Amino acid sequence: MVNKIFCATRSGTSAKIVEVEVTFARALPAFIISGLANNSIQEAKQRIHSALQNNNFTFPPLKIVVNLSPSDLPKSGSHFDLPIALLIVLQKENFTPQKWFAFGELGLDGKIRHNDNIYPLLLDIALLCPQANVIVPKGGKKLFSPIPNLNFFYADDINEALEFIKQESPTPETYAEELKFPSFKINDETYYYHNEFELDFSEVKGQDIAKRAALIAASGFHNLILEGSPGCGKSMIAKRLKYILPPLTLKEMIETVKIQTLGNHSAFYTPLRSFRNPHQSASKSSILGSATQNEPKPGEIALAHNGILFFDELPLFKKEILESLREPLENNQLVVSRVQSKIEYDTSFLFIGAQNPCPCGNLLSLTKTCRCQDKEIKTYKNKLSEPFMDRIDLFVQMSETKENSKSSISSKQMQEEVFKAFKMQILRGQTHLNGKLNEKEIDRFCVLDEDTRNLLDQAINRFSLSERSIHKIKKISRTIADLEGSDHIEKPHLLEALSYRRI
């Protein structure tokens, strides 16, 4: 019988499960590792040999062949040390290998060391193999213990790891079945949310139309552009949006943590969606990310997945960056292709742009005079192409705030409205929020009656709306109907959706 212990390696942005198996043959002593193992795994031979000798284990004088399956998948990482060493020690013993994963780098003294590559791998294992038994370094206990659906066994050295495997019914040290966040259930699926508001919409004075548009954008993940004079509250609204977004499933939370970890950011489980706010001087590679054969580097677009991507001073971004947003905004996916690799990133984010009406910013001001010439204003606005603007759902011009303006709604109230619309979407059978529906789902969930359809036809003829614009109007109307608690899209919902279009 060939014993096996499972491990994993990084392939693109996802983890691939690897079977580690060892055979022993009577031949000249040799130690061979096969299965497209890179140098970090090949060097494990010396580490394992020393670790076993320093812990009074006899290294067998046999031909040892370690195979990492599937053999055509390139593998990397020093965390393969532990499963290989365990299988060598257990050469004459039988155990239940299908239940065991092992991750850890071995020191020469047999200590199991934590490796930063382990954490994102475990996030995928939690989805691919729930309830699996996993041996990990004790040094990563604080980081690993919140990961749900895995039975964790923490070992300080190889002897402790052996004790766990030899037990018939081992008891895990940590097992997080449910995350300790506020949540609710719909159709047996748990949704987690954040109920603390560090930035509150009650602090935004006036701007009722913009806040209404922000509420619609949050409820359906509709892309939004806010235009107005400096200081009217564009950035304030954008930064408060993340606190009222729809709740997250466990899978979405794991996806968010994983992509943040791949981007070399410290990330822990939180139901607060990500908020990315790159500066307009950012390079194209920092926005789009890069692709190497073994180490993906996600950019701001990928890091914003399931969250918000906010471009302040939108026209000041390089035109090639703005045009590169067209694919991820349309397909919710970004493909980064290079000579040696091609990596796909999910990009289902809410895009928010903020811009001034002109280079000096005073074109819409009631108290200041615009200093820009018509040519300058035209050049400024032409930085946003029609194909790019056609991918924007909501466009709002904000006026200056009056001194006696009052706050009309708080973030808590807006979150309750978003949750009401979210529950209607889920109970309707949708797997995506309204703003991310494809053509077939639009035909299914955004049905118009005859009168509403006639009204839309009039708008199409009057404003020469593209097919993409028509779909977006339908999706916005569906979200407005959800906010109003209506099962059907009615004329007032469609009229409000049309009022947010940039004609």
Its CATH architecture, for the domain 189-410, is 3-Layer(aba) Sandwich (3.40)
pLDDT, tens digit, 9 for 90 and up, residues 197-245: 999 999 998 899 999 999 999 999 999 999 999 989 999 999 999 999 9
Determine the pLDDT at residue 404.
62
pLDDT at 70 over 70: yes
pLDDT of residue 123: 87
- 329's enclosing H/E stretch is helix 326-331
Q: What is the CA radius of gyration of the chain?
A: 27
H-helix or E-strand containing 9? Answer: strand 4-11
At 356 the three-state DSSP class reads coil
Structure confidence at residue 293 as a pLDDT band (50, 70, 90)? low
Please tell me the distance from the alpha carbon of residue 195 to that of residue 186, in angstroms, as a whole number. 18
* pLDDT at position 503: 59
pTM for the complete prediction?
0.88
Higher pLDDT, 290 or 196: 196
* Least confident piece of the model among 124-138, 246-260, 285-299, 368-382: 285-299
Whether the predicted pLDDT of 358 surpasses 90: yes
**Average pLDDT over every residue of 283-297:** 80
What are the distances in angstroms from CA 372 to CA 227, 236, 311, 357?
A: 17, 26, 23, 10
Task: Report the percent of the chain where pLDDT is more than 90.
Answer: 71
Tens digits of residue pLDDT in 416-425: 999 999 999 9
- Residue 10: the pLDDT is 87
Beta carbons of 82 and 147 less than 8 angstroms apart: no
Annotated domain spans of the chain: 4-166, 189-410
Residues 6+ apart with CB under 8 A from 391: 223, 325, 326, 329, 330, 468
Query: For 25-39, 223-237, 404-418, which range has the lowest pLDDT when averaged over its residues?
Result: 404-418
Average pLDDT, the chain: 90
**Average pLDDT value for residue range 373-384:** 92
Q: Which CATH architecture has domain 4-166?
A: 2-Layer Sandwich (3.30)
pLDDT over threshold 60, residue 96? no
Q: Would you state the pLDDT for residue 292?
A: 66
Residue 192 and residue 373: Cα distance in Å, rounded? 51
Residue carrying the six token digits 């920092």: 286
Q: Is the pLDDT of residue 481 over 60?
A: yes
> CA 220, CA 479: separation in Å to the nearest integer?
6
pLDDT band at 321 (very low <50, low <70, confident <90, very high): very high
Q: What is the pLDDT of residue 3?
A: 80
Q: For residue 146, what pLDDT is reported?
A: 82
pLDDT value of position 294:
58
**C-alpha–C-alpha distance, residues 194 and 187, integer Å:** 21
Q: What is the mean pLDDT of residues 263-271?
A: 69
User: d(Cα 350, Cα 273) in Å, to the nearest integer?
Assistant: 10
What is the pLDDT, as a whole number, of residue 113? 94
How do 333-337 and 342-346 pair as beta strands?
A: antiparallel
Give 159's pLDDT tier (boundaries 50, 70, 90): very high
- pLDDT, residue 178, reads 64
Encoding tokens for residue 386? 């029609």
